[in-house]
Chain A
Amino acid sequence: MYRYDEFDARIVADRVAQFRGQVARRVAGDILEDEFKPLRLQNGVYLQLHAYMLRVAIPYGQLSGRQLRRLAEVARDYDRGYGHFTTRQNIQYNWVALKDIPDVLEKLAEVEMHAIQTSGNCIRNVTSDHFAGAAQDELMDPRPWCEIIRQWSTFHPEFAFLPRKFKIAVTAAAHDRAAIAVHDIGLRIVQRDGATGFVVYVGGGQGRTPHLAALVKDFVPETEILDYLEAVMRVYNLHGRRDNKYKARIKILVNELGETEFTRQVDAEFAAQRGSEKINLPQAEIERVHAYFAPPDFTATTAADLEAFESAKREHPAFAEWTEVNLHPHKAAGHASVTVSLKPVGVAAGDATTAQMQVVADLAERYAYDDIRVSHAQNLVLPHVPVAHLFAMWQALDAAGLATANESLITDMIVCPGLDYCNLANARSIPVGIAVQKVFEEIKYQREIGKLHINISGCINACGHHHVGHIGILGVDRKGEEFYQISLGGRADEKAAIGDIAGPAVSADEVPGAVKRVVDAYLGLRTGPDEKFIDTFTRLGMEPFKEALYAAG
């Protein structure tokens, strides 16, 4: 993984000192709250319902054991013993005191971490495929380019006060696990005639007006990608709407100008760049960053290892089940990527306790090349695990309540914090998610259903990605009562689609039954166990599912 050099370390140290000064000036009254707000936001500090919330950046979702252990300590020493992993591969602490935040940032800096640009109207943490560097289906590892983009966008002086927040995601795999179609900029790394470059999509997003990103450029060579990103950003900074917060995202600009005109403006801006304006990242710098992401020296797996693995599965059906559900194919022989589910039934999705984080950190160091990822589905991932260690790892995870076998199954839901924590929410998300989980708790039932993503948001801002859930659930306020609107057919992968609203919203009590009727309808309608829910929906359309949803419960 990337390691800071003296420059990276100094930039983060300077930031900590700056924020310490800003907090001191705020406390002294030299900065008004209104003026302080964007400063704290650009350090990831939100004022939430009950307290300040601190969001810490986990660039493209990657952590070392040492870093995760530090996050665990922050949870223990400054929060209530847990943290919340987010859909943007970051972690949030919900109960941190403002006065402590400079100290927290200093502790994070010691392990090469920060909270820079995790909120505010600037370029946010760059996200990527949580199996990057491990997945069989990737063209190359996208992380080096994520890191290059991270550095370029960090404290970019021109783009710190954009019309609205700005999110960039990068994938290099056939199956898009980074949801690039619903990002402000989505980048797909490709190769053309031996040259590496990027397909550039712009203007995707969720929120109250969901849009899929438009294809803006089908190939930008790697040497020009930062210049091209600058062109996109400048067009947005100058022309994005600032009159209405809800129309300020780049998706609205792309939509109002039209894809053709927007692309023309970006191309014109790109063509107008003078030689002296070009970034000209040296080849040596591109190579320097890539060198940090060289694959680990994968250990060889012996026939005895494989035999022991098979025999452990025979002896421990729960282990066998977990390997069937939570492992992902790895590019190196004798290895797998492990999903550590943070979705046991009855727990807020994405929450992990201090002890759990410590367990995962230890396991990563002991068995898994000291590499940990946060997935946008709010789980942790150990991307490189030798088969020989899977059983020991499972036992340790199981003891810590981290071996739930539900990766991509119906109980592996994306759920925003909702009205329990968030001051934007209209309705609670966590209890509704748990109520739905309970209906499908039995693992046999879940596996019979197969891959099915339920995403829940507590308001129209769509932090729970309900628009792209196969089944999306959106909390709405109806005269002070919480209701839930159900949409079907959304997806965030390479076939991305925005779900269609099925019909009138239902009450919280009705949600679990309604979802169950939709799922049971699918089981009756599918051509066979190989046809996933989303594929049956695509084949048959809304009608039969809508009928089931609103059938008398």
Chain B
Amino acid sequence: MPLVRNGAEVANEWTHLDDAAELKPEGSVTLSLARFLAEADSLAGRNAPLGVRLVPGDDAALLEPFLEQIQLVEVSFPKYTDGRGYSQAQLLRRRYGFTGEIRAVGHVLRDQIFYMNRSGFDAYETARADLSGVLEALTEFRDAYQPAADQRAPVFRHRHGS
């Protein structure tokens, strides 16, 4: 499935591991939040890239103490109409200061990508849009009324030159 990160199509070197599957010492893998938390102590010594996949009901706050240990958070959208992932991403970026990759996975559509980008996502795994579509979606709006997790200054800052 095509993966777009920071405006370019890239190869996906990550795998999501089922809770029942064996975790090998090598390889970039994401685990469910529950498994990650249960095995956090032993995972601390692992020398390969590690990430977590959140599902909509997961409490992103539980990840806060471990954000130094992980490079990727996959926020999953089983249905694109379930918007909890936007709040999870905002919390990770703005409240807990996560600087690694936040990747949207699942039912990711072109027309949600602008909102995702503003909410702190920087990578999109999407079967329903190509690179040009994703890039177009990211720039469809030149302005934003409210501050969010991206770098756009809200319109009121432009209005008052601050």
Residues of chain A having any CB pair with chain B under 8 Å: 5, 7-8, 10-11, 14-15, 17-18, 21-22, 31, 35, 38-39, 121, 151-152, 154-162, 226, 234, 237-238, 242, 272-274, 276-277, 279-282, 284-285, 288
- With A18-B140, A234-B90, A238-B88 already in contact, 12 other A-B pairs whose C-beta atoms are closer than 8 Å: A10-B143, A11-B141, A14-B140, A35-B109, A151-B155, A157-B114, A157-B115, A157-B116, A158-B90, A162-B83, A277-B95, A282-B156
CB-nearest residue of chain B relative to A226? B146
CB-nearest residue of chain A relative to B91? A234
B15 located at the interface, meaning its Cβ lies under 8 Å from any Cβ of chain A in the complex: no
Please report the total number of B residues contacting A with Cβ < 8 Å: 40
Q: What residues of chain B lie closer than 8 Å to A152, measured between beta carbons?
A: 145-146
Question: Smallest Cβ distance from A166 to chain B, in angstroms?
Answer: 11
Residues of chain B having any CB pair with chain A under 8 Å: 56, 80-84, 86-88, 90, 94-95, 109, 111-112, 114-119, 128, 136, 140-148, 154-160, 162
Question: Smallest Cβ distance from B60 to chain A, in angstroms?
Answer: 9
Q: What residues of chain A lie closer than 8 Å to B95, measured between beta carbons?
A: 272-274, 277
Q: What residues of chain A lie closer than 8 Å to B143, measured between beta carbons?
A: 7, 10-11, 14
Q: What residues of chain B lie closer than 8 Å to A272, measured between beta carbons?
A: 95
Please determine whether A274 and B147 come into contact, CB atoms closer than 8 angstroms: no
CB-nearest residue of chain B relative to A277? B94
Which 5 A-B pairs have CB atoms at the shortest separation, nearest pair first? A161-B83, A157-B118, A157-B115, A7-B155, A285-B156
Please determine whether B144 and A155 come into contact, CB atoms closer than 8 angstroms: yes
Question: Smallest Cβ distance from B104 to chain A, in angstroms?
Answer: 12
Q: What residues of chain A lie closer than 8 Å to B142, measured between beta carbons?
A: 10-11, 14
Q: What residues of chain B lie closer than 8 Å to A154, measured between beta carbons?
A: 145
Q: What residues of chain B lie closer than 8 Å to A158, measured between beta carbons?
A: 83, 86-87, 90, 115, 119, 148
| Docked pose: A21 CA to B156 CA in angstroms | 28
Say yes or no: A161-B86 contact (C-beta < 8 A), given A10-B142, A35-B80, A155-B141: yes
Question: Smallest Cβ distance from B75 to chain A, in angstroms?
Answer: 12
Most chain A CB inside 10 Å of its own CB: which residue of B82, B86, B140, B159? B86
Question: Smallest Cβ distance from B111 to chain A, in angstroms?
Answer: 5
5 contacts between A and B (CB under 8 A): A14-B140, A158-B90, A159-B83, A237-B86, A279-B147
| Docked pose: A274 CA to B147 CA in angstroms | 13
Say yes or no: A14-B83 contact (C-beta < 8 A), given A7-B155, A274-B95, A285-B159: no
